[in-house]
Structure 1
Amino acid sequence: MNGATFRWAMALSFGMLMIGSIASIGSPLAHAQVPSNAQPLRSDAFLDSIAVNTHIDYTDGAYADVRKVAADLAWIGVRHVREGTPGTSAPLSSYVWLAQQGVKFSFVIRPDVADSLLQLERFDAAAPRSVAAVEGFNEINNFPVRYNGLTGEPAGFAAQQAIYQHVHGNARFANVPVYDLTGYDVAHVSTRAGAADYANQHVYPQNGEQPAWNANGDKWFAWSLDGLRKFGLPLVVTEFGYFTIPQAGWVRIGVDEPSQAKGVLNGLFDAASLGVTRTYIYELLDEKPDPQNTNGEMHFGLFRNDHTPKPAANTIRNLTAILRGASVGSSAGSPTNDSPSYTLHGMPESARSLLLAGGNGHYLLALWNEVPFWDRAAGKPLNAGGVKVQVEFERAMRSAALYDPTVSADPQQRFDASQKLTVDVPDHVILLDVTPGS
């Protein structure tokens, strides 16, 4: 397929659809005083929610060397990838080798459903327990499909049911969930019973905007997820990202590399705040060289075409290291009831918070302010100053440390035992690691 046509057509159709036809929903916005009242999300569950798209079948570019692909994934601390089922250009052994390195695959079924399912079984026989999910057709609004004499959405729905029945009727995939197909009009569909275990969507913020909140009313994550909630299924976002060609104007998604890092970081936390179980960043690598910077599709990567990390890759590496550190000593199950009670003073409408429960009594309080980080008129970054927020705990914390994943995996500031802390909340996620006192 032509990747550039694929992503650009998707971006235009998605942007126009969102602006023209979907009303925004209420999202967990922070205000002047925000008391904590939600059960925290486990930090190890959040870590496991971070995933990335790859293109192992693109054997004429950066993905050709799967050993470097595995090294890149290990470097950023991510093990879940989204990929097309084997059987096109790359040999099955490439996928099996990655699985042997600990990679878990969400496989997208190709238009030849029967062959895709056969390749899926061949892969599982060679690399048992390495299939994390099976997904239906990709963006049928942009890539017309046929199945059993049907075309369009009827073909997509019929194929999805066949995929669902095959996966759940095969003991080999007893615990493997089925992600829904993408690209159909959810307004005309009332149920996904017998077709999907997870509702699925793609999210690409336009105009260099923040992922979930913009003063002009654009709420890209809420818009994309709102229509899916009626299905009553858990949610996944199987594509989300920004490409790194700085652009000006409207209906563009190109930003510079540091802004991509901020947008991707914020989007992961926005998704978790809105109930998304797993978010697949698009994508791991810039696929092919593009020295003239004319093809946006070649610049979505967390890494450049030569495998050198962009700021986004460094940020994800730092984030996963912080999360792993916080998760030490955690155990399966729900967080305990001793999570810190706190109130946030001075949070503007554009700000967000999310509490993660780690191990050994640690909690991570994520704070971020979705003010503009990109000047779409000039095509340049905006670096807004932080907003001062006071975190007031119900009782004094035994210890506290502040982390900025865009800078380092090490704490940027430590606080003495205190009941009140004042922090500068920037246009991207920072993490306050706190341990409640007795």
Structure 2
Amino acid sequence: MMLRSDPLAALPLPGPSDTFADSVGVNVHISSEPYASNFDRFHELLAASGIRHLRDELRPSNDLDRWRALNKRSNILFNAVVSPATNTVPEMMTYLAALGIERVSAMEGQNEGNSDWFLSLPLAKPGWSNVVVNYQREVHAALRARYAAAELPLLSPSVINWKPADVALLRPAAQFSDAVAIHSYVQRAQEPETSDDYAAVSWYLHNMRDAFKPGAPALATECGYCNVVKPGTSGVSETAAALYLPRLLLNNFRLGILRTFLYEFFDGGTDPNDGEHHWGLVRNDGSPKPGYHAIRNLLSALKGARRANNDPALRVASTAPDLRHIAFQDAHEQPLLAVWRAVRCWNVEKAEDIPVPTEPIDIAVDGPAASLSFNRPNDDAEWRRVPVTDGHATIPLDGRVAIVRRSS
């Protein structure tokens, strides 16, 4: 089985992507506001961000010309969600043929069928889980009659992240799912590396993936941070979100999540008290938040970067328990290192940012090098030099990610 990454390459399932940029996606609602009336601004910001995977629902109201335009102009691929509420299976196949499967990385079953919205629909009255499972079976049969899993994988239906018991009701759909879609939101504004229940990636893999299809490849098709700030809730400031989002993407990649779709690109509205309005990387008026810039810089710094082998030329020599790191190599097989600290940057009870003191981190360097350069995606796209002495260099690290390379 394969998960399409771009028109010229694909990635095997099961197993994580080796290319970091290919693991990053974002949720959008292209046919809804503010995307519909600000499409040019959306495309401008999307193209500049470096994000090349979008998750959206395939439905009759879609302007597929816009989907095709995004693919043609910026090589965008779509993770297309389908639902019995908006598509019969024959309609889905018609829309898919009109879009072209070369523009689709994967199909995905019903989104959160245990949500109040879906449960309120007349079609769900016979039992929502039976409806979702039967639809997944029909979608799978229609897709496999025309396309192999290598051409077009089908992801599982998803459930609301705080209702793990409902996964058991969907288990009959496992045989009709090539990979598992999880919605791995943190429940109490924790840092991405938390070990808490209802928040940690490991908890979601155990309770959402393994309870459905043990050991299957997993995609986080929704996760992120809300920016409605109230004491004791799950919202964080835009500043804290900008610190957490690059770490979330890297941490998921480190733990083998095949692809992570942040929720979402644009804020859905402007009501300061409505949590559904403030999940975006970009505000409703089209102005980027700090998190947008951090992710754009991260993807630029790691453009073309792939996981390194087991003997990387740059290594973290410090042993602090909060350190996390991933060794990469760039397109020219030169070493890169992403390093960060799993520290909390947001005080949930007080609803305020936590200043994180800087700690010196020792980087070991194999081979000749007079200096290393490091980039902080949260700050800018610039690279700063630090000297190498006796095969070691020191970089300052707080709550921000650092990308390290040999100086050119």
TM-score (norm 1): 0.78
Distance 2:252 2:176 in 1: 23
Shift of 1:404: 0.6
Distance 1:109 1:156 in 2: 11
2:136 is the alignment partner of 1:155: no
Distance 2:347 2:317 in 1: 29
Shift of 1:357: 2.3
Q: Which secondary structure does the structure 1 equivalent of 2:302 belong to? A: helix
2:45 aligns with 72
2:281 aligns with 302
Q: Which secondary structure does the structure 1 equivalent of 2:317 belong to? A: strand
Distance 1:147 1:289 in 2: 32
Distance 1:178 1:398, change over 3 A: farther
Give the 5 Å matches for 1:21-420: 42=18, 45-59=19-33, 61-88=34-61, 90-101=62-73, 102-112=75-85, 114-115=87-88, 118-142=91-115, 143-144=118-119, 150-171=126-147, 175-183=151-159, 185-186=166-167, 193-213=174-194, 219-227=199-207, 228-229=209-210, 231-249=214-232, 252-290=233-271, 293-324=272-303, 327=305, 339-340=312-313, 342=315, 344-348=317-321, 350-393=322-365, 395-397=367-369, 400-416=372-388, 419-420=391-392
Distance 1:391 1:351 in 2: 12
Distance 1:124 1:199, change over 3 A: same
Letter in 2 for 1:158: N
Shift of 1:148: 9.4
Q: Which secondary structure does the structure 2 equivalent of 1:308 belong to? A: coil
Distance 1:234 1:146, change over 3 A: farther
Distance 1:146 1:414, change over 3 A: farther
Aligned length: 382
Distance 1:335 1:386, change over 3 A: closer
Distance 1:154 1:435, change over 3 A: farther
Residues 277-312 of structure 1: per-residue CA shift (max 9 Å, x gap): 10000000012233xx11111111101111111001
Q: CA RMSD in A?
A: 3.0
- The percentage of aligned residue pairs carrying the same residue is 25
Judge conservation of contact 1:164–1:178 (CA < 8 Å) in 2.
yes
Q: Which secondary structure does the structure 2 equivalent of 1:129 belong to? A: helix
Distance 1:93 1:351 in 2: 45
Q: Which secondary structure does the structure 2 equivalent of 1:58 belong to? A: coil
Distance 2:273 2:347 in 1: 20
Residues 238-258 of structure 1: per-residue CA shift (max 9 Å, x gap): 001111122211xx2211111
TM-score (norm 2): 0.84
Judge conservation of contact 2:264–2:281 (CA < 8 Å) in 1.
yes
Letter in 2 for 1:111: P
Q: Which secondary structure does the structure 2 equivalent of 1:156 belong to? A: helix
Judge conservation of contact 1:124–1:131 (CA < 8 Å) in 2.
no
Judge conservation of contact 1:146–1:152 (CA < 8 Å) in 2.
no
Q: Which secondary structure does the structure 1 equivalent of 2:94 belong to? A: helix
Structure 2: runs of 5+ lacking an equivalent: 1-15
